[in-house]
Structure 1
């Protein structure tokens, strides 16, 4: 990641960059796209494991209160939705290779894709966090019955702090890195498009 950031800093800091061939520019685009696809694929794999785990708990765990079963069901539905979204976006970015030879269309495709990901990582993520908080709260109802008050306060405070870290720190970093990769692809395509536009018409 440091090499990636350094490359972007060099790119923006130069007034005149050496002209890269289309093959080299496309190689940069494919490399960045592959890293982004692999990240989404890893998330799909992780979410799938989480879904299996929650389904097992829902079927096998001996819950005393119905609130815990409701919590498990909500968690499973949220994870299935998140799995669907990540798998959909993985296929979108992974199957966009046919646009590589059409920089203008590919640029618009990536800009729209970036906007959709931003909505997912902000508005939809906020709703997702609300349901996860609801799941944890429902599970805590059963756990807190057997715990002293000081432990309850400590756990609730720790949970709130964890949610705050996820929302204000980890997710901000995640969005910044994701947008950096997509922006890098867009910048490469704009560079490629400019080279095509600057190429003299050999037929004249």
Structure 2
């Protein structure tokens, strides 16, 4: 048993440097980059559909209270601004050809990391406050048509959804995305370093 532990210890302490070409590393990173781009694009499409869905409330329903119209307006503006921010972040990683210029893409990836950090912190809370205010104004008229217990149910479910999105779901998304982007940045730093080593000094 002691011999097995000694062999395992030697195996863990023995580091073998594996030389991987920059081209091979680019191929490995291609799938990860495309996953981030696709997820970013899906987020934008989802927000766009949300914008259309909220805007359609004006087309299919006749609201009497001014608070409902103000609430819908706040929701639409908040969704539109958040969608625009997502689009600007998506442009950082969608326009640069990482296979042609890994160093330039690395800089864009770092800028994207900063934009996502800002998005999930200060901007996220501004967005959530706007959604809460808009929803409260919207429900002011709508809930008047419901019975008391249905009003309670809608309010409780809405608050539970907001709390879930701003705590558990937000933390899960932040953790996964932070790890994914950090690993990708590390990979492109290695790729950029290998390109510099392979480039002859002028």
TM-score range, shorter chain: 0.7 to 0.9
Find the aligned partners of 1:175 and 1:119 in 2 and give their Cα distance. Answer: 11
Q: Where does residue 160 of structure 2 map in the other structure?
A: 161
Q: What's the Cα RMSD here?
A: 2.7
Give the alignment's TM-score, normalised by structure 2: 0.81
Find the aligned partners of 1:38 and 1:52 in 2 and give their Cα distance. Answer: 21
Q: Where does residue 186 of structure 2 map in the other structure?
A: 187
Equivalent residues in 2 for 1:29-178 (5 A)? 29-97=29-97, 101-103=101-103, 105-178=104-177
CA distance 1:200–1:23, shift in 2 (3 Å):
closer
Find the aligned partners of 1:145 and 1:39 in 2 and give their Cα distance. Answer: 39
4+ long deviations beyond 4 Å: 196-203
Count, aligned residues:
190
Larger radius of gyration: 2
Find the aligned partners of 2:108 and 2:162 in 1 and give their Cα distance. Answer: 33
Q: CA deviation at 1:130?
A: 0.6
Q: Where does residue 10 of structure 1 map in the other structure?
A: none
Say if 2:51 and 2:76, in contact at 8 Å, map to a contact too.
yes
Q: CA deviation at 1:75?
A: 1.4
1:12-36: CA deviation from partner (whole Å, max 9, x where unpaired): x994452211111112222211111
Give the alignment's TM-score, normalised by structure 1: 0.80
Say if 1:71 and 1:136, in contact at 8 Å, map to a contact too.
yes
